[in-house]
Chain A
Amino acid sequence: MNYLSYEFFQLSLIGALLIGLIAPSVGIYLVQRKMSLIGDGIGHVALTGVAIGFLLKTSPVLTAVLVSAAGAVAIELIRERAKASGDVALAMLFYGGIAGGVVLISLSKQGTNSTLQSYLFGSLNGTSRSDLTAMLILGAGVLGVTLLGRPWLFAVSQDEEHARVSGLPVRFLNVLLAVTTAVTVTTAMRAVGLLLVSALMVVPVATAQQVTRGFTTTLVAAMVIGVTVSGAGVLLAAEVDTPPGAFIVVLAVGLFVLVAAFASVLRRRRPVRAPNDTGHTEPPDVVLGPVT
């Protein structure tokens, strides 16, 4: 474990822990809306943003935040307007985003396969001090929204019509969640890569809800799982010398399989007693004879 003393390793470990903390806190609302794949789509769009940053010779993270936020708001507006054709419109945005990104990156000076690879699958070990500072600021913003706004985001993700009747700022909350998702994607792209970002948002939540009963407990458990797999992933990846981003996701999925199997065994042993107001139930419509 002597690599713990290297600064680049410490920076990449802190970055991974940060992403493990924030990604599930956003992902839980996406899972609640049954839109688990939206983070993946925004990741595709963010690649175009990275490429524009290269072409304009500015920070690719900045342009990726702007482009993916615009993409996320567009997805949200499409979802709000047209429910039927929204599916196809989303597909256009996803594929347009990634294809545009690949074309634009190859046109730029940095247009090598290794650049492309580092954004698609992450390059945690390349995290610099300034990268980490930017990630900490963006991450604090994301946590502020997802934790302080929890009751409102919960209400609008649970039942949008009811939230609208209650006078909640539904469109503002939806756009806020979309932009927060985009910021999370770009914050995490250095660590796990644009193609695997969505996994860190969704898999810890899916794992947590195998054993939790409420929303807040699921949120806390998912964040604990996210931090644990991210930290363990970086440490173990260094031991076996594999890319940490992909290793984190492999660990997360492995943990999900274990917990899901464990939970189903538990459920079989202790079948959930359906809560029922016994004694007041309706009498059967027919005279029941003994089963022969």
Chain B
Amino acid sequence: MFLILQTRDLVVAYDGRPVLRGVSLGIAPGEVVALLGANGSGKSTLVKACLGLTPATSGSVELFGEPLAKLRNRSRIGYVPQRVGASSGVPATVRELVSAGRLARRGFLRPASAADRRAVDSALVAVGLSSMARQPVSTLSGGQQQRALIARALCGEPELLVMDEPTAGVDAASQQAFAAALRQFVAGGGTVVVVLHELGPLEPLITRSVVLHGGVVVHDGAAPEPAPGHACPDHVHEHPHAPVTTPRWELNQ
């Protein structure tokens, strides 16, 4: 079967400390895969290794049936990083930021064609930012900046969309616009890999959930059931970040 993305025994270590310990994963065309897991489980590292941003210690990554290093046509991938690179030292308009996503298709030193401009326009429409195309990115809300990054990925007309926590800290209006843009992309035959903290507003779109824990895949299939008590509305998250060595209270005998 043709796989869009395939990793085999992928191991990634930072300074000798393994973060991924042998991940084998195949993603077929049209799938919408959520990568879930706690902080430090390796989900962002897996995405970065699949895109060649983090070197693999061992194992292999294939995209569109070709080894990662040999993949020539990079415009087939759309990448939405965590929202840090949206604004920089010099002001840039939303349109200027989004247009950067078209360069993968445009060819080095080629002027922008009418098709390039149309692709930017329709990506801005898809995320609901066309009325803000001339605004400086820095005046946008966090959710709007995130949508601009998604438009940047979409305007290259990719076949695979890879997103790293796109819904973190995003307001409700942006989450709706974001889910709509994603639905449109999937309806057009696109494949999605999205790193998420929780399924949230994207839940209806997700076809497969992969849960990482300690650098290995611990669940692969339908969305996992939340741990007992974690889904009820009264549940309060309390995660002590240091291992608890002594019980914090004694049970009455």
Contact = CB atoms under 8 A, between A and B. Distances in A.
A155 B100 contact: yes
Nearest to B109: A148
Contact of B132 (A154, A205, A275): A275
A275 B139 contact: yes
Contact of B85 (A36, A152, A158, A205): A158
Interface stretch (A41-49, A186-194, A207-215): A207-215
Given A34-B89, A205-B90, A209-B90, A280 B172 contact: yes
Contact of A213 (B52, B135, B173): B135
Q: How large, as a class, is the contact surface on chain B?
A: 35 or more
Given A275-B135, A280-B172, A151 B89 contact: no
Contact of A277 (B96, B99, B173): B173
A161 B162 CA distance: 13
A34 B85 CA distance: 12
Interface string A266-292: 000000101111001110000000000
Give the bracket for the number of chain A residues in contact with chain B: 35 or more
Contact of B141 (A32, A148, A276): A276
A157 B85 CA distance: 10
B205 to A, nearest CB: 19
B139 A158 contact: no
A157 B88 contact: yes
Interface string B90-111: 1111011101110110101100
A209 B176 contact: no
Most buried by B among A151, A169, A209, A280: A151
B54 to A, nearest CB: 10
Interface in B152-180: 152, 156, 171-174, 176-177
A28 B92 CA distance: 12
B90 A32 contact: yes
Contact of A164 (B52, B90, B141): B52
Contacts of A168: 103-104, 108
Contacts of A274: 139, 141
A165 B95 CA distance: 20
Interface in A233-292: 272, 274-277, 280-282
Interface string B113-133: 000000000000000100010
21 contacts: A33-B89, A36-B89, A151-B112, A154-B96, A155-B103, A158-B100, A159-B85, A162-B79, A162-B85, A165-B51, A166-B75, A166-B103, A167-B75, A209-B90, A213-B135, A214-B136, A215-B91, A275-B132, A275-B139, A275-B141, A280-B173
Interface of A: 28, 31-34, 36, 148-149, 151-152, 154-155, 157-159, 161-169, 205, 209, 212-216, 218, 272, 274-277, 280-282
